Amino acid sequence: MILDFKTLAKEYGTPLYVYDFEYMRAQYCALKEVFGGEKSLISYAVKSNSNLSVIQNFAKEGSGADCVSIGEVKRALLAGVKPYKIIFSGVGKSDVEIKEALELNILMINVESEAELKRVESVAKTLGVEARISIRVNPNVDPKTHPYISTGLHENKFGVEIDIAKRMYIYAKNSSHLDPVGIHFHIGSQLTNLEPLSEAASIIADLVRSLKAIGVEIKFFDIGGGIGVKYYGDEELIDLEAYALEIKKAIKGLDLTIVCEPGRFLTANGGYLLTKVLYEKQNGQKRFTIVDAAMNDLLRPSLYNAYHGVELLEEKESEISTTDIVGPICESGDFLAKDIELPPLSSGDLLLIKSAGAYGFTMASNYNTRGRACEVACDDEQGCRVIRRREMFEDLIDAEKLYLQGE
């Protein structure tokens, strides 16, 4: 949809996150569609953007939720996701989290180690229930993405090797407090190459077949998330039809529900960070554009050296030159873009940071005692509305001020 960023900046101030709910829903539907004809569940990876209204926007379409903390599970429930569509993943779950997840009767807990399997069993035993679990298997394929967001190699901390997984499934089958219903892999994020995904899918599908032979009946084939998106604009992306086809091919002959856990694919390009120019300065030969958004609002450039497109929302005639877009935080790593071409800017000019809908606000912090930005959502039906108000100074000190000592 067409968004009037200038009016939004005037109305809600900057820095401002703006989400296009129409775009996000369209992404969801495109993915749901390619798995049509199969039993499938799209479980939105809440960590990519956990605003309640964002989750609700997907829940209304029938989405499930992939959660990596009990906090995310509770967000999903609050936003209207059905418990039987919620998956609890993550490499380190505490007993308290496991207990709550079992009490909330979610679809399944994704187990990532033998030790964790035993914890889940013992908590389930205490509660007198049978825990539905899936095991995250590390298929040891190279996802060909950034090392920070690669998760499917043995050198990463995620999942367990095939042999260990087999042992765990046998253990779970023989336990009266574990019900092994699913199998899971997630090899990395921002994947732009189909091959590692289809390789992983065949490896895991073969494991399902050999488990079946020994009496372990898997029902959910969870292929993780990781579908890449355009940041530069000219990337070759995974073709969704081909992706679905590869998965269907891998599980041919098996009676499985395909579970897909997209995060970035659903949200990244449906989000923008709107920021205002404060000043420009020149240090020697180097030009800097200082804006009111910073690494505490959008960490990806500082953390991964990630690229985000920047668009100037003003008409300028003057000649362009190279500049770095930096924030007010006292860190040299505080930048949003480097070496981009822009005309000279003045205080108050608006810049749009693109592809900021995933891992944007969710990674925001209060570093330098900066309140987190306001979030606004737009759709055809309701226009634009606040879905999280800007944080105030009071919000930031609320949990501390009680403890100040008197004279």
State the alpha helices, DSSP H only, in 35-113: 52-59, 70-78, 95-103
User: Min. distance of Cβ 27 from ligand PLP in angstroms?
Assistant: 11
Nearer to ligand PLP, 184 or 276 (CB): 184
The CB-of-261 to ligand PLP minimum distance in angstroms stands at 4
- The greatest distance separating any two alpha carbons of the chain, rounded to the nearest whole angstrom, comes to 75
Mark 86-122 as b/e (b = at least 16 C-beta within 10 Å): bbbbbeebeeebbbbbbeeebbbbbbbbeebbebbbe
- Taking residue 341's Cβ as centre, other Cβ atoms within 10 Å add up to 11
Alpha helices in 112-262 (DSSP H): 114-127, 162-173, 194-213, 240-250
Provide the minimum distance between the beta carbon of 321 and ligand PLP in the complex, in angstroms, as a whole number.
35
Distance from chain centroid for Cα 373:
19
Q: Which is nearer to ligand PLP, 199 or 261 (CB)?
A: 261
Q: How far is the CB of 238 from ligand PLP (least distance, A)?
A: 11
Number of Cα atoms under 13 Å in the Cβ half of residue 240: 16
Beta bridge partners of 351: 275, 312
Parallel/antiparallel/unpaired status of strands 310-312 and 374-379: unpaired
Q: Is 74 or 173 the residue whose CB approaches ligand PLP more closely? A: 74
CA pair distance 254, 295, nearest whole angstrom: 47
Nearest approach in angstroms of CB 336 to ligand PLP is 20
Nearer to ligand PLP, 85 or 264 (CB): 264
Burial label for 36, CB within 10 Å (0-12, 13-18, 19+), is: exposed
Query: Which of 226, 327 has the CB closer to ligand PLP?
Result: 226
**What is the DSSP secondary structure assignment for residue 84, as one 8-state letter?**
G
By CB under 6 A, name the binding residues for ligand PLP. Answer: 45, 47-48, 66, 68, 89, 186, 189, 224-227, 261-265, 358
Taking the C-alpha atoms of residue 4 and residue 258, their distance in angstroms, rounded to an integer, is: 39
Q: Which is nearer to ligand PLP, 8 or 268 (CB)?
A: 268
Residue 286's DSSP bridge partners are: 283
Q: Among the options 67, 260, 330, 384, which is catalytic?
A: 330
| Distance between CA atoms of residues 12 and 210, nearest Å | 57
Cα 397 to Cα 297, 370, 371, 388, 403, distances in angstroms: 18, 11, 10, 18, 10
Question: Is residue 183 packed enough to be buried (19+ CB in 10 Å), middle (13-18) or exposed (0-12)?
Answer: buried
3-state secondary structure 240-258: HHHHHHHHHHHCCCCCCEE
3-state secondary structure of 355: coil
Least CB distance to ligand PLP at residue 197 (A): 12
Q: 186 or 219: whose CB is closer to ligand PLP?
A: 186
260 is catalytic: no
Q: How far is the CB of 363 from ligand PLP (least distance, A)?
A: 12
Indicate the residue among 55 and 358 with the shorter CB distance to ligand PLP. Answer: 358
- The answer, yes or no, to whether the previous bond of 344 is cis (omega within 30 of 0) is no
Closest distance of CB 131 from ligand PLP, Å: 18
Report the catalytic residues.
330
